[in-house]
Amino acid sequence: MTPELTELKDKIARKEFLLGVIGLGYVGLPLSLTFLRKDITVLGFDLDAKKIDMLHAGVSYIKHIPSVELAGFVQQGKFSATADFTRLNEPDVLLICVPTPLTRNREPDMQFIENTAHSIAKVLRPGQMVILESTTYPGTTVELLLPILENSGYAAGAAFALAYSPEREDPGNPNYSTADIPKVVGGINEESTRLAADFYKTALHSVVEVSSTQAAEMSKLLENIFRSVNIALVNELKILCHRMGIDVWEVIRASSTKPFGFMPFYPGPGLGGHCIPIDPFYLTSKAREYDFPTKFIELAGEVNSAMPYYVVQRVMDALNSRKKSINGSRVLLLGMAYKKDVDDPRESPSFKLLELLQEKGAEVYYNDPHIPVLPPMRNYSLSLKSTDLAAETLAAMDCLLVATNHSAYDYRFILEHADLIVDTRNAFDGLQGAADKVVQA
């Protein structure tokens, strides 16, 4: 190990290093808090000036990150944030937690990683370690990130360490915090792997070392592709069960009683969140370089992407059964977050549902207790505010569409006052009177 990396190793062992986190969103901010709780000083980087101002004021913009705790670290001088990327040479360890979206053609959009890498390369110094956490295709770290960083004139694995460790955030999960989830780590060489593992062990309970950055990158894709394929399976079975007059939720409950060989997945209105709708296509794109068709992955993507269209068709059929047209009907969409009890709208199928309903001529409203105003999204810019769920509001709607089954909803109250409900989440299961008003979708 070179003298520069030996010095970094000693800093990590003494927990006297400065951590830099690039991208203070749903991955970067929880990671920052995890290390702050272990008395490690963190300097955050983000291009969003509004976020920087809120953080300096000790205010969290993510629901499950407590403002009180964050404010305490700011007041102690343990946490600060900046939009000045010339300061990237200050931290000893840099975590890259920037978005990796898809283009409109479902190709990897690497601009955020590339821009970040160029910013680091301008000020990179010997003795630093760079770790990419953003989900991406196998080969990104060594094929894209490494050459850009070496434009600094320093050699990766010698002057500075370079590794990949996929984020495993699950916003709103009460059972697993960032510190509890095992961390997969792979470096470009043995020294980088070991340094990255030692770094994560200062704040996380379990670290899993793998042989390469490519293995670590592929592990994250496998996790999300596994979920995507199985969700597509139950979504397809849901459509078949509707046609056959079978309750798919009852079938899943029955199958779940098997103590081996079965894992329950649940249907819905489509995929949401930053991972499952996007990550599988990073692998399909890379696989094309090897003349390898990823049939399961692409088919799962097709099935899941089609679900909002199926749900809207169910809404149309439900309204038709009441002798109403969707054109001109008042539809209230319940839930804009991509999953229950979070304020995260990234890639939520609710936006597609809203768009499709409007295209059909419906007058669409929404309610989400966690998202009072719809934020601008990458593909959507909707100026809507959450509608109050008063009894008269529910009664005035021609149809309610449940897209996200938040725990905050009083489903009995909703059922009592609504006339027609299309339910994609089985939220009204077991409630008396649901059979007369609720249509499964």
Residues annotated as part of the active site:
275
Best CA proximity match to 308, nearest among 224, 401, 225, 382: 401
d(CA 207, CA 42): 21
Give 422-425 contacts, CB < 8 A, sequence gap 24+.
422/311, 422/314, 422/315, 422/318, 424/267, 424/268, 424/269, 424/311, 425/268, 425/269, 425/340
DSSP per residue over 244-264, as a string?
Answer: HT--HHHHHHHHTT-SSS---
* 311 contacts 353 by C-beta, under 8 angstroms: yes
Looking up tokens 């609504």 gives: 418
Q: Which two tokens stand for residue 223?
A: 């996790």
* Cβ-based burial of 101 (10 A; exposed 0-12, middle 13-18, buried ≥19): middle
* 422 contacts 314 by C-beta, under 8 angstroms: yes
- What sign does the CA torsion over 214, 215, 219, 225 have? positive
| Residue 266 host element (H or E) | none
* 110 contacts 100 by C-beta, under 8 angstroms: yes
Best CA proximity match to 368, nearest among 398, 409, 317: 409
Looking up tokens 């905050």 gives: 408
